[in-house]
Every structure is written in C-alpha cells, then in structure tokens.
Structure 1
C-alpha cells in the first residue's frame, strides 16, 4: 500500500519532509499548498528530482481545498507554530492522518483537542521529534531502559546557540508569544523530549527565564529543574545569545552505575559512554548516526503504524505533548515564581504576555 501525502507549508523546513517522502518506498507526494506559488513550484521540483520520477503533484493556494482531496491519506503541516493546532484539527476532521511539526500546539487545551480528536476519528498524529530515531539515541534509550546505568539519578539538557536580531526581524511572527512561542518551544524542545523519553514522566517543574532582547517578546535564556516520577532530576539550561555563534547541544544522563553523554548539532557525538555490559564500537555508531536519515525513519515509522491497526507512531500526539507540558510548566513557574505540578489543566503562550501587562 502506498500512502499519499499532502504538504501544507513549503518553506525551509518542508524541504526535509519532501526529501523523506521521495525517499520512502511506501510514500507518494500528491499535493502541496502554500500562499506563494513559487515556493510550491520549488517544492514540487525538489520532490520530482529526489524521487526520480515526473509524477503529477497538485498545487493548492487554499489548503482547505486540499483537505477535500479523498486520495490524500496524510497531511503534513510545516507552517508557523500558531497555525499547527488549527490545521491539525481541520485535517483530522477531514479524516486525514497528520504529521505535525513541533511544537504541536501553543496551549495545553489545543494539544488535548488534537489528541482527543485523533482518537475519536481513529487517525494517527505523528509529532516531529525525529531525533528519537537516531541510532545513537535509540541505543541510549535501550541502555537506560535495560538498567545498564542503574537507577537514573540526574540529567542535563544544554542548548547554547545563537539567534541574531536579524533572524527575528526576517519574519514578523518570530519571537512573538502569539505566533512563535518561546525559544524553548522552538530551539530546545527536541532535547527536552529526549530527556523525558529517557527518564519517564515528569511530575513537577521549577523555572526561570531571562529576557533582554527587547526587539522580540520571547525569552533569551531559560533555566529549569524537572522532577520525574521515578525521583530523578533534570536540569534544562538554554540560551540563544551564545556569542558570536552556536556552541551547540548536549544531553547527559547520570545513573547509579553509569553515565551517558552525547553532544553535537544532532547529538551524534559521544563525550562519555560508561554503562554496565554495554560493549559497542562508539566510533562506528557515531559514524552511522551522522549518515542516518532520521526524517526518513520517522516517515517509515508512521507508514508502519498505518499498516498495523494495533500500532501507533513512536511520537504520537500523547507523546508529543510530554515535552510541551514540561516547557509550559517552566514558563508558568517563571511567571508565578513557584513550582508547577504536572499534569497542567491549561496553559497558553499568550499567558506570557501577562509579564508585560504586570
């Protein structure tokens, strides 16, 4: 069975999705939608070149017309963050499965609505936390779950990158709480997703944020302490003001009997691997991870779940909400200056505008 995809949003991030669909033997791009016709033309050309075939791909300037196309099985949403939930709900109501770029929503209620509707419609939602598919990080998860570092005690997620004033000024929605969400939602969410994937469900968050760049609304730096159900602690330290350029990303897990630590742009470099009974060729695994296409693996995982009625994708809507809720907890803690217990009843990034009103 070939799964037919429709893509909403033909900007920069969509290129990885187009390439993955073209490279997946069980997938076909049927349609694209964008307000700019030149971007649709480019996306279609990229797909045809990558797929090696001159297959017809329909272009829609109105994505709601694409949702009426009964030949499309899955809608891929790669637009600005504030439209993610709205478009996901519309796609689900049109009886489509959904691949949804992070963050899945800008409020708890929106995330819950997506999850509830996907269950009601019996349609899959895949949230794009594709780093889970990297061989090195999959192995890290396997080693932790097997107890090879003993009881996990502590983890650190470090994001030290640079986003210039020009970056935010290049698009008016960037750096706004209403349309973009915060720095953690955009640049930090992948590492926070991995941290909770490794350590389990979180039960409370305490956080603080720093905001100095007055040309935008969102935070420049954030610090959080997460307590997990198993008693482990997690530290989040993130900023977009590292000068003059990115320092990078790092994720470390410290356990009773071992330490696992990875770093690099895609977390594909090992800085420490000490785990009981974990004998592996680190250099070989690093090289494999660097050449591995995690985006393609994500698409294959979704297709497998569509072909198996008892399966769901690795990063379902419920899974995608977990990192989102930790970040929202950190933001609310920063606003109210007290710990936040999870799960949260509600939170929206619009709540962060309260800081300005106060």
Structure 2
C-alpha cells in the first residue's frame, strides 16, 4: 500500500484525491495547506489527517510514501526539495516549476535522494492523443510538414482576482505556463526538441503581470514546422483546444473545447474502416481513464519496478524551457497592458 499525502488543497487537489481513491494499492492519509478553509473543505471529503505545515506533516507521519504537490507553481521547487530530503516520492502538478533553473533544482534533489518523481501532463493519456501518437510512431502519416497547437480559452478577470498569486510572474505565469503548457508538452512528446523559436506575446485584456495571449512559430530538430496560439482572452467561454498534424500521407485534427475529439482523420495508408474504428472508439470514450489517475498509477508501478515514470521531471523541464524560450523570443519588455 502506497500512502499518499496531498500538499495544497485548492481545486486541482480534488483530481488527485479522486485518482488516489480509484487506485488499488494507494491510500490518501494526509492533507496539508496553510489555508485552514481549503484544508477543511478537502478534509470533509476524505477524512485524512490535516496539517498546516509540510515539515510537521513529514515529521509526524514518517509512513507517508508519496506527496502530491498541488500548490502554486512558484512554490514547487522548495516543496519538492523538502519532500526529496525526507525520502518521499512525488507527483508534481504542472508546470514542474516556473523557471528551468528551479526545474533543475528539483531534478538534482530527486537524483540525490533516489526518489521517483512524475509531472502532471495528463493530456498524453487522452484516447485521441494516444491514437495520434500511434499513427506517428507507425509512420502512417509519412513525413510531417507542419503542426499547429491552439488554446483559445477564457479566464476572466474574476478568475485572476480570486487569489493574489494568480497571474504573477513569481507564482503563476501566464497563458503559456498555466494553460498551454499541456499543448507544448504534447508537441515536444510527439515531435521532439525545438531548435528555433519566433514569437509575440502580450497582455491585452487581463490585469495581470504575465501574458494573456501569445503566438509562436517553432522549428523542430526533425525539420517539422509548428505554430502555437494561446489565449485566455476569448470571450465568455473556452472555445477551442486543438492539435493539428499535416503529413505527406494525410492529416489528423484533434479538437473541441478540449482536445478530446477527432475532428478530421485523413490518411492514404489506412483504410476508411480503420479510420472509422478509431473515430468511433474515441466518440464512445473521449476522456478515457482520468489522466491524473494514469500518472499516479504509473508512478506507483515505477516505484515497484524501480524505473523512471512515464512523465519525468526532465519532461516537465523541457516544457518550461520552451515557455521561457517563447517569452524570451517575444521580448519581455513588449508585454504590456
């Protein structure tokens, strides 16, 4: 039995709690948050022991095996170091950190302690994305010419105003770090490292320190060209999250308000029956097993099998570094209200 603790009891902690509950061989034994209201709210749902200090929790409950770090992004490095020094395995919410340097601090702490650490990039487990990965690995689309990742979402001013840390450079980051980070992770996972970045970013509508809209063009090491469009300024609701891949033998477009549905799949190296089967399977179950559950389950298996988890700290750092490169290419001085 892997005994788990959740550090940070905000909205995302619910997904961790539900994932742990759904897994055989995992038990939620402790909760930690400096906000007693958030702490009590989650405690009412699960009854685990409660703490307002991570140090107190680790000292009083040495039996904890795994810590889910669900706090504001700017605190991840410090808390991960604390967990690593205590010999605790970790699931770290996205982004792994707000800077590549902090990510490397986490990586070194994990290496020195010998613990396992996974980063929450659950979009890799969406059924449609898994089929796309299979098609690319199988070479069914042939040579890829270009790809497009789009996040056209709404985050109102009220969303940013609900907590002082939201929208800040020190604790939260902007649309690239907070919303589009999953799309960037998918691009890196599917197409490999990026060798060139050109970009523009701005703060157009929200009163925040960071960008609320960004557009970037990428060149991957393989030669594939890419376009990224990300915004939290879309009027009223989340309009679209999509990834489109164009190759010499066809194209795949996965979209919807969240990238869970196959919108187009054309491929000359597949029969129409094969394409219809994939599309129908996704339509029947577009979400699949929740990504948080898959990530925590994989980490538990990685502990048992003494292997790296499927989504590593290095993976998390690569996504953060790409955000940093896009913002640098855009020119921080150009981000204004």
Structure 1 length as normaliser, TM-score?
0.88
| Partner residue in 1 for 2:62 | 70
Q: What whole-Å deviation, never above 9, does each CA across 1:32-79 have from its counterpart, x for those lacking one? A: 10123343233233236xxxxxxxx21111111122332011111111
| Partner residue in 1 for 2:49 | 58
SS across alignment from 1:281: helix
| Partner residue in 2 for 1:344 | none
Which of 293, 296, 302 pairs up with 2:293?
Answer: 296
| Partner residue in 1 for 2:131 | 139
Q: What whole-Å deviation, never above 9, does each CA across 1:124-163 have from its counterpart, x for those lacking one? A: 1111001111222112111101111112221101011111
Does the 8 Å CA contact 2:210/2:335 hold for their aligned counterparts? no
| Partner residue in 1 for 2:235 | 243
Does the 8 Å CA contact 1:19/1:47 hold for their aligned counterparts? no
Q: How far does residue 356 in structure 1 lie from its aligned partner after superposition?
A: 7.8
SS across alignment from 1:289: coil
CA pair 181-318 structure 1, distance change in 2 beyond 3 A: same
Q: How far does residue 285 in structure 1 lie from its aligned partner after superposition?
A: 2.1
| Partner residue in 2 for 1:6 | 5
| Partner residue in 2 for 1:53 | none
Q: How does 1:126-275 map to 2 (within 5 A)?
A: 126-213=118-205, 215-275=207-267
Q: Distance in 1 between matches of 2:258 and 2:207?
A: 29
Question: Please, which moves more after superposition, 286-295 or 156-165?
Answer: 286-295
Q: How does 1:343-358 map to 2 (within 5 A)?
A: 352=332
CA pair 163-230 structure 1, distance change in 2 beyond 3 A: same
Task: Give structure 1 stretches of 5+ with no counterpart.
Answer: 49-56, 336-351
Which of 286, 291, 316 pairs up with 1:320?
Answer: 316
SS across alignment from 1:215: coil
Q: Which runs of 4+ in 1 moved over 3 A?
A: 354-357
| Number of equivalent positions | 330
SS across alignment from 1:300: helix
Q: Distance in 1 between matches of 2:326 and 2:194?
A: 12
Q: Distance in 1 between matches of 2:70 and 2:231?
A: 24
SS across alignment from 1:140: helix
| Partner residue in 2 for 1:277 | 270
Q: What whole-Å deviation, never above 9, does each CA across 1:207-227 have from its counterpart, x for those lacking one? A: 110222362111121011111
| Partner residue in 2 for 1:119 | 111
Does the 8 Å CA contact 2:80/2:90 hold for their aligned counterparts? yes
Structure 2 length as normaliser, TM-score?
0.93
Q: How far does residue 85 in structure 1 lie from its aligned partner after superposition?
A: 1.3
Q: Distance in 2 between matches of 1:148 and 1:356?
A: 41
Q: Distance in 2 between matches of 1:125 and 1:290?
A: 24
